[in-house]
Each structure stands twice: as C-alpha cells, then as structure tokens.
Structure 1
C-alpha cells in the first residue's frame, strides 16, 4: 500500500527500520538483531521509494536519484572510503507476492561500487516487483560489504533431524553466495548447545569459492592449500554457535543465519526461520 508521507530512505539502527511494512521483513529482522552482533552499516530504500519509482516510471528520475546519491555519500563517510562496495538486496513485505519473479532478479547483487552501479542494482530489484502484482511493495537494502575470509550459514537447530539441541554450521572460504546457492560442498560442523566447544566436523573438498571482483562477485577455484583445510577455527565455531542461540532466543523460534567471518569478528548478514521446524 502506497503511503505518501512515509520516508523513502531509512538507516539500519533507526527505530523506523523496525517497521516491516516500510522496510520489508528482511531489513526489519536485521534491525531488531543489530544490538546483538556486528553488522555492516546500511541504508534501506523503503516501500515508499518503490511506489515513487513506480509512479514516475523510472528509478533514476531526480526525485529519487538525488536522495539516494546523498545517502550513498553519507554511507561512504561512515565507511571511511570514497565509494564503498555494497551488497544490494531485495526486502519484500510479502515474499509470496514475488513467487512468479525470475530467480535471477531475487538474488543479491554483490560488490557494487559507485552511485550509478548502485541505482542499476536497485532498479534490478524493483524489476522483480511489478506494482500490479505486489500490492504491499518492496524495499531494497544497500549495505556495506563485510570483510570476509570465510562465510557460514548457521542453523540454530538441526534441519535434517529436527534436533533442537544442536547447531549446524556450513562454512566455506570467501563470500556466502556459494553456500546459500548450494553451488559448492562446504564443511559441516555439528555443535552441541550444551557445550559449544564439543563438535563434530565433516571436512569437504572445497573446490570453488565466491570472491568479490571489479565486476561483482564470481566463482574461482579454491587454492589447493585450502581445499582440505578447515574453513573455521574452534573459536569461530563456538562464536557462530553462540550467536545462533542468541538470535533464536530473540526471535522465539529456530533460525537460519548467514554470517561473514573476518578473524575474530562475526558479521550477521541475514536471518530467517527454519521453515520445516517453525511452520512459517
């Protein structure tokens, strides 16, 4: 629903970013979890921006381009770089309304730099949502790329066995797109919630990894020296398990989270329910 008085841009960390009708479920969830973890700075083009673009037949019309340029410049100041590399992600109010959209349009666009490239990526997201079929609108998250040595997708309960006393971690070198897309075989760690230092490990032959480059993210071969090496060290495994449990407690149900790991720092990038265990 188009609400003309709503803001077109809000920032992660602001109270306004808690409203899923304005920023979509994905951004509202991240904003709720921000006090619990490290999270890269980001701005959200709200559903109001989506409706303005739809009404004016073009996301690059001056009423939207100028505010987005100013917001990107402010993000650059917060990041300490002239043109920060960002991920551009769709955040729908009602994901079911995008069921007919091409999968390629629903994927995040990674390592985007410069206002023109950012607006192109935003338009791509908006292209997945046609006003005739998306009655609730969509938002778009523009978020600094987290420094990433290793990525992990973490389940706060075992999705295969429904064991809620275990945390299951899938990890690979580089960005998380390779894990999320299921394109590679990743290491698997099973951690007991009762004792996060006790875990079992299934080491994968990690042939491919996703990395950031000038043209966005792309897959490359994993260096031979890393293919059979554990992607996570024990401290990272324990920290990821503890974060998954904290998020599960905050959300009130088992969750799947995506994280970027850089040394001792764990960045939370995404959170959603484990559908088979929550029924959501």
Structure 2
C-alpha cells in the first residue's frame, strides 16, 4: 500500500487529490488528509495515518486519473463515504470507493463520454468538516457561461446540495461590479455529523425561509473561488463547507460544460424550476418514483422524478431531458445532465403531481420551464 500526504499529491494520485494539493500548497484552507494510491489491506498503516488527522471522523472519496478533469467530472459516479471513524471502517470505505470504479454506472458514464475504462483509482481519506453550512460554487454560470459566480448553499453537510436532496439557496455574484442576487431555497432537511454518526433531520421553518449565508460569507466564498480558478487557469467547480466562522475548500475541479445565450422562453409553462442548461427537448413525460419504475423508461422519454442519485445515471443515457422536484443547478444530477447534453430543470416543485405520465412535454433547460406538447 502506497500512502501519500494530501499536500504532496501529484497528477498520478488522480484529479481530485491533485487539485486539492494545489490549493494546499498555495495556502488555501483545505482539510488535511492522505491519499491511498494502491488500496490494499493494511489496517496498521491506515491506523498510523489516521492518527495524524484531527477530528472524530473522515471523508473517504475516490480520485481517478480521469476524474475531476476538464473532460469529465464523474460527479457522484464513484462512491463517497462520510463519517468513517475507526481504522476498520476507513479500510472498508477505501475498498468500497476503489471497487466503485468498476461499477456498471461508471462504465456507462465513461461510455457515454467516450472514455476508456479505468478500474484502478486512488482514494482520499480526509478530515470531515462538521459543517454548519456547505455547498457548491461555480466560478462561471454553467447555464449561460456568464462571468458570474454561482453558489448553491444549504444547512449542514454539503451532501444535501450535491445529491439534490434539498432545494438550496442560490447566490449569483455578477462581475465586474459583483452585484449579488439571492434566491432562497426551501432547504427542507439537513445532514449533520453527530456523536452517533450522520443524521438527517428537518430544518426548522424559520431557517428554511432565510438565507443560510451572510453577505460577508458570500463575498468570502467568491474570493476563494476566484483564487481557485486563478491557480487552475480555468473556471472551477468548488465544493466548500463552513464550520463556525471558517470556510474550508473540499474540492476544486474544472467546470466541464458551459452554456450559451438564453433563447426566448416558451409561454404558459405547466411547471417551472431552476434552469439546468443544455437547451430544449420534447418527449413523453415518464414519472419515475423508484428503481421499480426504471424498466418503464424508454429512449426519448423525459425523466421526471423527485430527485436522483448515482444509481439513476443509466436512465440519463436514455432520456431526452431531466426534470427533478428537488436539487439545484450545481447538483451532481444537473452537472451530469449538462455533460450528457440533456436539457434539465431542477427544483421543479410539484412536477410529479402536475405532469401526467406519457403526456408529451417540452423541457427548456435555459428558461427552467416545462410546457405541454412540442415546440
């Protein structure tokens, strides 16, 4: 087993690890960790490296050579394990992350993007930030390509944002004047690190209706995001977390797709949501409530669901467009939809109730609308 301190990770440690190492060497706030380059069963070595980290729990994440690259984000495709504590738990998590590189969904993702198979990946073990607020930041607007920083944020750990489990707050900071526009999302639940592990709980009503970031925190995040982009030399997709008053950077990778100018919006939408980008498409609405409905999805259908997880990626290879009731424009589902060239509307409240299975609909991923019929 070869183990490399995260700050020393080079390109051979995979895209995610190398990206974080660049930030660490530049003095940016990144939780400490290490990279297991060739995972093997060595509990004693894992225990020794864990002993050098702070905090009660770690995040275990994959770092493949093609992952987090300019061509492919692999957003949510490989396994991530949050909250592992003991050496045995961490070793199990490392095996799980490494094995996920050979999963059917990862092979399907690679096939869709024309990438060769890669079964061996490095694995990052990193201090888990017990976040009060967390989310994702893009240093360019992925929907339009505009020179604007887009932030999706919610309470607790960032898993709620990237998985699309909640409708997050969205802050858009537009250059050159850095004008700020904030849309408050519902933020229905939160995921937190507790003494007993991870716990998902309802967000109190008063916290659902107020922004989870202060104006100062928005501007601090923008500054950090722009510094990440400066170091990388290209627009970046940054995951971040706030613990108390401190902002931590958890990821910095290239933005893989940027949209273009927004066209004319269609009139009289049945449902509206957040525009996910990638144009406009028409097809029969296919309401999918669980994996039991997967077999009903046919090529050219519009996938309509409450939210998605990585296991649903094979459906993206069939769908003409994607509509989710929850999630934001920077969620993993939205990122993968843009990479696949699929129009997407996320955070489309009541879409499952308002749309009828089998009815032709048009999804406008630029405007964030779903209209009846073809256009």
**1:177 aligns to 2:174 (yes or no):** no
**1:191 aligns to 2:173 (yes or no):** yes
Q: 2: distance between equivalents of 1:235 and 1:171?
A: 14
Residue in 1 aligned with 2:49? 71
| Equivalent residue runs for 1:179-258 within 5 Å | 179-196=161-178, 198-213=179-194, 216-258=197-239
Q: 2: distance between equivalents of 1:94 and 1:158?
A: 23
How far apart are 1:87 and its partner, in Å? 0.4
Q: 2: distance between equivalents of 1:104 and 1:274?
A: 15
Q: 1: distance between equivalents of 2:143 and 2:258?
A: 10
Q: 1: distance between equivalents of 2:254 and 2:21?
A: 16
Deviations 1:82-108 (A, max 9, x none): xx3100001111349xxxxxx988231
Asked whether the 8 Å contact 1:156–1:256 carries over to 2, the reply is yes
Q: 2: distance between equivalents of 1:74 and 1:38?
A: 17
User: How many residue pairs are counted as aligned between the two chains?
Assistant: 242
Coordinate RMSD, CA, aligned: 2.5
Residue in 2 aligned with 1:166? 148
Deviations 1:33-63 (A, max 9, x none): 11242111101111xx23xx3xxxxx3xxxx
Greater per-residue helix proportion: 1
TM (norm. structure 1) is: 0.79
Residue in 2 aligned with 1:26? 16
Asked whether the 8 Å contact 2:14–2:67 carries over to 1, the reply is no
How far apart are 1:216 and its partner, in Å? 4.1
Q: 2: distance between equivalents of 1:68 and 1:237?
A: 37
Deviations 1:173-223 (A, max 9, x none): 000001101121000111123234x30110112211221245643432112
How far apart are 1:120 and its partner, in Å? 1.1
User: Which SS does the other structure have where 1:275 is aligned?
Assistant: coil
| Structure 2: unaligned runs, 5 residues or longer | 69-74, 103-115, 260-337, 340-375
Runs of 4+ in 1 over 6 A off after TM superposition: none
Q: 2: distance between equivalents of 1:107 and 1:223?
A: 30
Residue in 2 aligned with 1:107? 79
| Structure 1: unaligned runs, 5 residues or longer | 1-6, 54-58, 97-102
Q: 2: distance between equivalents of 1:195 and 1:262?
A: 29
Closer/same/farther in 2, CA of residues 105 and 113 from structure 1, 3 Å limit: farther
Larger Rg: 2
Residue in 1 aligned with 2:244? 263
User: Which SS does the other structure have where 2:136 is aligned?
Assistant: strand
How far apart are 1:152 and its partner, in Å? 2.2
